[in-house]
């Protein structure tokens, strides 16, 4: 039986999951593809803590990642350290030796992907990255191979389980953001510092990778217009539900007239839509191709088992390529640059959800609608929520027809200066997913 010898850098949650998965299903994998995955070396700063898994017999466990990379007993380097510092050095060292690398590191690829893939090409190494976007969902392979005959027109994706869990529980349990965030942290669904997740940065990393993959030019997280979910209130969740929508943190990747839209923001989507049914820690990637039409890829987007499943799939791809003495069948990021760059976000068209807190007196709607009309923003519907008891102000919910971001921003600036409007207006995009 042929073997693939694996060097694992990073023995944390996902690394331990990979060890466990190979222990459970290594023999099954060997029967299916004729190659047995064997972990020969593991490097981690902590070699004492019990991970709750049984190490393979004869495995070398130490703190020396560079020795692991150089070892003749390692054919493929698996980087599960994360971050953009040491992980980058490890991947570069492996590539310079011509060794293939498997990584789940979305932050690194979204920041330094162009340089790393150029190095891989120069040195004859390869980078495999299925787990970098979507966790256990095989969306990278689907986009690279299954949909290779399509021009991808648009992708809408829920790519962060933490945010999706928080928004789902806010709706199902009628609890506010801070309460649910604390629960998510206690359950291990959110980090002690949740900023990367709830501020949309993690989703932006993944969106940049997917956009680079399908549009043939490099994008980084800096190219993504990012807004997180901290400003989503329980009232917004309830108002959206009453109007037939759910609020999701949505990665939006679109091509329009030769230019690319890249954005991450809380968006209202139809409750009846496929993405509207994606709840809890689950992720989904909705893809619209010019030939195939719409397809959906759904599953757990993070966690020990889901991520290790994707990493293991990449390892087997490496093994088959090595045994057949061939390189990756397709270039990971073919650069063909047929697009004209990013759309100016001021020019983006969208429908909008607008929530205002206004003084409860006659003429308020006329004032607001007059300002919106001044900027050629057409109102689709207005709901003024009656408050129980005697209150000086009431929430007003406005849904608009399509308008430009720039026009809406200027209108909001003017609306917020009206004496009848209290506090800051709240604005979300509406995506009807047609």
Residues with Cβ < 8 Å from 358, sequence gap 6 or more?
364, 368, 393, 394, 395, 396, 420, 421, 422
CATH number, span 345-430: 3.30.70.260
Q: Are 4 and 38 in contact (CB under 8 A)?
A: yes
Structure tokens at 398: 């406005």
| pLDDT of the residue at 388 | 58
Q: How far apart (Å, rounded) are the C-alpha atoms in residues 122 and 41?
A: 26
Selected catalytic residue, list 106, 206, 246, 404? 206
Residues with Cβ < 8 Å from 176, sequence gap 6 or more?
170, 233, 234
Q: Which residues of the chain have pLDDT under 50?
A: none
**Left, alpha or beta for 301 (phi > 0: left; psi -120 to 50: alpha)?**
alpha
Q: Are 60 and 72 in contact (CB under 8 A)?
A: no
Could you tell me the fold of the domain covering 146-299? Dihydrodipicolinate Reductase; domain 2 (3.30.360)
Looking at the domain covering 2-137+304-323, what would its CATH class be? alpha beta
**What is the reported pTM?**
0.94
| pLDDT of the residue at 373 | 97
| pLDDT of the residue at 237 | 97
Whether residue 182 lies in the annotated active site = no
Q: How far apart (Å, rounded) are the C-alpha atoms in residues 390 and 202?
A: 43
Domain range list for the chain: 2-137+304-323, 146-299, 345-430
């Amino acid at each position: 039986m042929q073997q693939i010898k694996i060097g694992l850098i990073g023995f944390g949650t996902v690394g331990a999951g990979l060890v466990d998965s190979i222990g459970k299903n290594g023999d099954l994998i060997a029967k299916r593809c004729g190659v047995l995955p064997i972990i020969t070396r593991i490097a981690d700063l902590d070699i004492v803590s019990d991970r709750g898994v049984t190490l393979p017999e004869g495995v070398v466990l130490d703190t020396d990642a560079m020795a692991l990379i150089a070892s003749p007993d390692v054919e493929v380097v698996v980087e599960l350290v994360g971050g953009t510092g040491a992980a980058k050095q490890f991947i570069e060292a492996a590539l310079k030796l011509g060794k293939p690398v498997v990584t789940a590191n979305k932050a690194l690829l979204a920041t330094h992907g162009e340089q790393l893939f150029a190095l891989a090409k120069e040195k004859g190494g390869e980078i495999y990255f299925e787990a970098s976007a979507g966790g256990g969902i095989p969306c990278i392979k689907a986009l690279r191979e299954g949909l290779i005959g399509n021009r991808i027109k648009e992708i809408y994706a829920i790519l962060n389980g933490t945010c999706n869990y928080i928004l789902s529980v806010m709706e199902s349990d009628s609890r506010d953001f801070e309460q649910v965030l604390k629960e998510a942290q206690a359950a291990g669904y959110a980090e002690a510092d949740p900023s990367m997740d709830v501020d949309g940065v993690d989703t932006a990393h993944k969106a940049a990778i997917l956009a680079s993959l399908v549009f043939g030019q490099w994008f980084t997280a800096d190219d993504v217009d990012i807004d997180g979910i901290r400003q989503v209130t329980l009232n917004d969740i309830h108002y959206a539900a009453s109007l037939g929508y759910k609020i999701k943190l949505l990665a939006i990747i679109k091509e329009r007239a030769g230019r690319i839209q890249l954005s991450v923001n809380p968006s209202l989507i139809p409750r009846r839509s496929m993405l509207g049914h994606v709840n809890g820690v689950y992720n989904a990637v909705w893809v619209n191709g010019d030939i195939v039409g719409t397809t959906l890829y759904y599953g757990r987007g993070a966690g020990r088992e889901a991520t290790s499943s994707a990493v293991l799939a990449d390892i087997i791809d490496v093994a088959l390529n090595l045994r057949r003495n061939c390189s990756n069948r397709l270039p990971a990021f073919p650069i063909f640059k047929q697009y004209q760059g990013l759309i100016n976000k001021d020019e983006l068209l969208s429908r909008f959800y607008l929530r205002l807190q206004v003084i409860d007196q006659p003429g308020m709607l006329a004032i607001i609608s007059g300002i919106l009309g001044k900027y050629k923003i057409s109102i689709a519907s207005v709901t003024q929520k009656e408050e129980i008891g005697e209150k000086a102000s009431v929430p007003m919910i406005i849904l608009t027809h399509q308008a430009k971001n720039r026009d809406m921003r200027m209108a909001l600036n003017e609306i917020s200066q009206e004496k009848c409007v209290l506090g800051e207006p709240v604005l979300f995009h509406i995506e009807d997913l047609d």
